[in-house]
Amino acid sequence: MTTALKSYTFDGNFRMHRAGHLKSPTLVYETWGELNTAKDNAILIFSGLSPSAHAASSKDDKSPGWWENMIGSGLPIDTDKYFIISVNSLGSCFGSTGPASINPETGERYRLTFPVLTLEDVAEASYMIVQHLGIKCLHTVIGCSMGGMSGLVYCVRHPNAVNRFISISSAARALPFSIAVRSLQREMIRSDTKWQKGNYDLGDPPITGQRLARKLGMITYRSTEEWTQRFGRERLTDHARIEDQFFAEFSIESYLEAHANTFSDVFDPNCYLYLSYASDLFDLAEYGGSLAEGFKQLQLKKALVIGVRTDILFPIEQQRELKEGISSVCSDTRLVELDCIRGHDSFLVDMDAFCPVIDKFFESCD
């Protein structure tokens, strides 16, 4: 298999935001386009919780990425003009160091000995890559969902190292509804007897808990409007056995089943727990004691906040809060509220709505 993945191993201890350290963590990343001589055309992308660094295809890896129609030659994030960096989040399981990795200090997998992960750590790990690439100041930081929170904290902690910021379906902090959803997802995994307090057999992981967690995710990532249009009350076959009668009479149920199976095959359960929990912990108000103070740490030339009205996980009120907060220090801040019906996931699937907005942002940078 060809790969476009690059790898960087930090020489020394990486200090974690809350407590503890990682010895010589590795970060993997992909890049597209060319860094110009002035090194002022670099865009850093923070993904949501589950994707790898593979945001788009390239000559070295022709498989489609998670934002395939957004990044490329002539696309909104234009590889002919910009040098684009996508890092697999610290704590994830697609090449970067995380709970599923071997701890070089013990020779064993970290599992729950991995220190508490925060989005500050995710941001700092990516900052390390940016420094490694010799970039002093990023043209733009873009973050989607959890990545929007990582991106925001990146901008707050390195105000002189970012010029512009795009936040997509994200928030300045996690609120109780989202915390409740994620906490329940984590409990589903932890309740699976196969989880074994994180010491599961890698060949027999807590797949039942993972599948339940993913289904709850899907329920909150999409919207009731979309499903009503798409599935209505369409039914599958009738079932012969009574114990099956509580399940999968309706198409929506088999749709969730298919998605849950795909996800559970690839994502490490402990990594999921750490990243999910990191999202709950994030609160911009930790910078200065209030959200207002937190936003004041920013030094941006230009910002864009995009939200979707059917998003129940990062609701539109949180997009307005971001717009208001960033505006207090950056007059060139725009909020775009989209009427996509696919809820939180719209940025991944509704390219017709998102591409023109991102396109316009970069056009106006020229």
Q: 317 Cβ partners below 8 Å, 6+ apart?
A: none
- Contact with a second copy (CB under 8 A): which of 33, 198, 294, 325? 198
Distance of CA 66 to the CA centre of its chain: 11
Strand partners, 335: 305
CB of residue 176 to a second copy, shortest distance in Å: 4
Name residue 196's amino acid: Q
Q: Which of 11, 201, 204, 243 binds a second copy (CB under 8 A)?
A: 243
Q: Of 291 and 336, which CB lies nearer to a second copy in the complex structure? A: 291
- From the candidates 139, 276, 344, 350, give the one annotated as an active-site residue: 344
Helix axes 146-157, 119-132, angle to 10 degrees: 60
Q: At what angle do helices 146-157 and 269-281 cross, to 10 degrees?
A: 60
- Work out how close the CB of 350 gets to a second copy at its nearest, in angstroms, rounded to a whole number: 18
Q: Are 190 and 196 in contact (CB under 8 A)?
A: no
User: Minimum CB separation from a second copy for residue 122, in Å?
Assistant: 17
Q: Using the rule CB under 8 A, is 212 a contact of a second copy? A: yes
- 238 tagged catalytic: no
Segment near a second copy (CB under 8 A), from 72-80, 119-127, 240-248, 358-366?
240-248
What is the distance, to the nearest Å, from the Cα of residue 75 to the centroid of all Cα atoms in its chain?
21
**What's phi and psi for 210, nearest 5 deg?**
-65, -40
Stretch that binds a second copy, among 33-41, 125-133, 162-170, 246-254 (CB under 8 A): 246-254
Sites for a second copy among residues 98-117 (CB under 8 A) = 112-113, 116
For residues 316 and 355, which CB has a smaller minimum distance to a second copy in the complex? 316
38: exposed, middle or buried (Cβ count in 10 Å: 0-12, 13-18, 19+): exposed
> CB of residue 248 vs a second copy: minimum separation in angstroms?
8
Binders of a second copy among residues 300 to 319 (CB under 8 A) are 312, 315
Identify whether 80 is a catalytic site residue. no
Site string for a second copy, 149-188 (x = CB under 8 A): ------------------------xxxxx-xxx-xx-xxx
Closest separation between CB of residue 174 and a second copy, Å?
7
DSSP annotation string for 67-125: TTTTEETTSSEETTT-EEEEEPPTT-SSSS--TTSB-TTTSSB-GGGSPPP-HHHHHHH
- Rank residues 24 and 191 by Cβ distance to a second copy and give the closer one: 191
Q: In the complex, what is the shortest distance from the CB of residue 256 to a second copy, in angstroms, rounded to a whole number?
A: 6
Smallest gap from Cβ 186 to a second copy, in A, equals 5
Q: Please, are residues 349 and 221 in contact by the beta-carbon 8 Å criterion?
A: no
Residues 251-280 within binding reach of a second copy (CB under 8 A): 251-253, 256, 273, 276-277, 280
Rounded Cα–Cα distance for residues 218 and 203 (Å):
25
The one catalytic residue among 311, 345, 346, 350: 311
Q: Which residue among 126, 145, 170, 279 is the active-site one? A: 145
Q: What's the gap between Cα 187 and its chain centre?
A: 21
**For residue 312, which of 281, 343, 287 has the smallest C-alpha distance?**
343
Among 40, 61, 68, 283, binds a second copy (CB under 8 A): 283
Q: How far is CA 165 from CA 46, 129, 344, in A?
A: 11, 18, 19
Give the span between the Cα atoms of 345 and 21, in whole angstroms.
Answer: 33
Taking the C-alpha atoms of residue 244 and residue 24, their distance in angstroms, rounded to an integer, is 50
Residues that bind a second copy in the complex, under the rule CB under 8 A: 112-113, 116, 173-177, 179-181, 183-184, 186-188, 190-191, 193, 197-198, 208, 212, 215-216, 218-219, 223-224, 227-228, 230-233, 242-243, 245-253, 256, 273, 276-277, 280-281, 283, 285, 312, 315
Catalytic annotation, residues = 145, 311, 344
